[in-house]
Every structure is written in structure tokens, then in C-alpha cells.
Amino acid sequence: MRIDLHAHSSVSDGTEPPEVVVAGARAARLDVLALTDHDSTAGWPAAEAAAAAAGITFVPGAELSCRHAGVSLHLLAYWFDPAEPALAAELARLRADRLGRTRAIVDRLAADGWPVTWPAVLARAGGAASVGRPHVADALVDAGAVADRDEAFARLLHSGSPYYVAQRALDPLRAVELVRDAGGVTVFAHPRAARRGRVVGDDVVAALAAAGLAGLEADHPDHTPADVAHLRGLAGDLGLLVTGSSDYHGAGQRAALGARRTEPEAFAALRAAAAAAARR
């Protein structure tokens, strides 16, 4: 069983439509694929239909924007009811805020002479439900200002940049509860991906575990072997499951689908936890 539990489509900052991501999962000989677009479930129907046709098990998911004590972090949520009102309203607020916040970043860049405009970024986002910095990066690439998304983040879009504007984000403890109340489970995405900015300490992971977090995404392209080892130990200490995923973004980032994977036992336990949450 080859299982990848974290992938993005053009519904957020991936470069391929959901059905193309699923076709890629099939080509990568995956048995299970989760679609986890940022703050949106809009890709679920197309991905689910494509997965059914391809004989792949589809896991409906999302990656929720959270912040704790000024540090941004991402929680993966799986198998929740997308129509549950409290969670759906929070996701809608997050997506709406992304528009204003991304536009503010563009305004700061343009004011400083960088060749980027809001219409160009919106065109690059191409109707994505969740707009974000990667779309600004793509517009900067189009304008010839940077070579690729990586360079755009390293030079202009990282969280310490003068052009950076923070986005609305959920308290992660509340996010764990919202997802559980919607019948789903949460996994802490890339908890030690320090190249993306500051990360939270193990004390925060412990608090999330106490609140009902189900797992830690230990195997991730942005983690060093030492990060992976540390997270596996922490998961053991806290009674959390361990997952592995590619965090695929199409042409937008390096990792291929299936480059990191989740063990079948962990996947089965995660699915059982979601089934228990759905029965509450």
C-alpha cells in the first residue's frame, strides 16, 4: 500500500486541477491519496470522481491556516463534514482574508518598484478558491523578477520580509475541536519545517495532543533526518500517530507525489479515529 496524505491542487496553490493530481497519483502507483488544499474543500468532488475511476482510495482533506503566539502553523484535517456550519464559516473567513492580505503584499511590492500587479496575481491564481503567496511568486516569475517560487520566497515573500503581511489564522486548539465536531481528525503538518519560518515548541504539540490531535506529519520534504527522528520520538511519547506525505504542489515545488508516504497501520488507525469522531 502506497499512501500519500498531503497534496495540493489549483484550488489552492498547486499548479494542477484536482483530477490531474489524481492522475499523477495513479502514475506514481499510489493506492491512497489525500487532497489537502489550503482552507478549501472545493476540489473534493472532482478528485473523488477521478479517484473512483482510477481505483484509488480518496481521502478528503484540507490544510488549515493556524497561528499560535505569533507563529503560523498548518493543521491537516481529514474526513470532516464540509457542510458543518462552524467549520465551513471559518474556512470561508480564512479564504476571504487571503484576498485582502495577498493584495496588501502585492501593494507593498509594487510600491517598492517590483513588477507585480493585483490583476496579474489574480490571473495567475486562475480562479483558485484560496489565493496566497505562491500566486504572487508566479506573477513575479512571469515578470522576470525571479527565476522560480523558491527564489521569490527566499528574497521577497518569506515571513521576515518587509513585504510580508500576516494572514488571518485559527487558534490551533480551536481548529482541532472544530474538525472533531465536524466528524474529522487532525494531523500537525510539517511541524519542524523551519525553512518556512518559526516553528512551535514541543509544549504546543503536547497541548494539541491533549486537545485531541491525532498525529504528526514526521516524514516531509522540508524535514531533516534529525527532525523526522525527533518527531517520531515525540509522537511515541504523546501517543500520536505518525504520517508521511509529499506536500505535492505540482510544478510549484520539488517533491513528487509519493516521495514521502504513510505506513498502512498508521493510515488504518487514522481512519478509525475519524470514524469514531463521526459517531460522536
Q: Using CB under 6 A, count the residues that bind ligand AMP.
A: 13
Q: Are 199 and 71 in contact (CB under 8 A)?
A: yes
Given the complex with ligand AMP, which of 183 and 250 has the nearer CB atom? 250
CB of 41 to ligand AMP, least distance (A): 16
| CA separation for the pair 170, 175 (Å, rounded) | 6
Residue-wise DSSP of 9-76: -TTTT-SS-HHHHHHHHHHTT-SEEEEEEET--TTHHHHHHHHHHHT-EEEEEEEEEEEETTEEEEEE
Span of 165-173, 192-200, 211-219, 244-252 interacting with Zn ion by CB under 5 A: 244-252
As a whole number of angstroms, the distance between CA 274 and CA 202 comes to 24
One-letter amino acid of 31: D
Is 133 an interacting residue with respect to ligand AMP (CB under 6 A)? yes
Question: Which CB atom, from 26 or from 155, has the smaller least distance to ligand AMP?
Answer: 155
The one-character DSSP state at 153 is I
**What mask of x and - would describe binding to ligand AMP in positions 194 to 223, judged by CB under 6 A?**
-xx---------------------------
For the chain, the first-to-last Cα distance in angstroms comes to 29
- Grid cell listed for 93: 473567513
Stretch binding ligand AMP (CB under 6 A), from 28-36, 132-140, 198-206, 229-237:
132-140
Contact 40, 129 (CB under 8 A): yes
Choose, by CB under 5 A, the member of 5, 7, 10, 13 that binds Fe ion.
Answer: 13
Task: Report in angstroms how near the CB of residue 168 gets to ligand AMP at its nearest.
Answer: 11
Instruction: State the cell numbers at 25.
Output: 497519483
**Does residue 192 belong to the site contacting ligand AMP (CB under 6 A)?**
no
Using the minimum distance from each CB to Zn ion, give the nearer residue, 63 or 227: 63
Q: Does 223 bind Fe ion (CB under 5 A)?
A: no
Strand ranges (E), 114-170? none
Q: According to CB under 6 A, which residues from 21 to 60 bind ligand AMP?
A: 38
> Which range of residues in 40-48, 101-109, 228-236, 239-247 is near Zn ion by CB under 5 A?
239-247
Residue 60 interface partner, choices Fe ion, Zn ion, ligand AMP, none, CB cut-off 5-8 Å depending on type:
none
Q: How many residues does the chain have?
A: 280
Residues 127-186 that bind Fe ion (CB under 5 A): none
Listed ranges 17-25, 85-93, 126-134, 224-232: which one lies at the site for ligand AMP (CB under 6 A): 126-134
Q: 47-85: buried (b, 16+ CB within 10 Å) or exposed (e) per residue?
A: bbebbeebebebbbbbbbbbbbeebbbbbbbbbbbeeee
- CA-only gyration radius of the chain, Å: 18
Binding site for Fe ion (CB under 5 A): 13, 74, 189
Query: Binding residues for ligand AMP, per CB under 6 A?
Result: 13, 38, 132-134, 149-150, 153, 167, 195-196, 249, 253
Query: Which positions touch Zn ion (CB under 5 A)?
Result: 63, 247
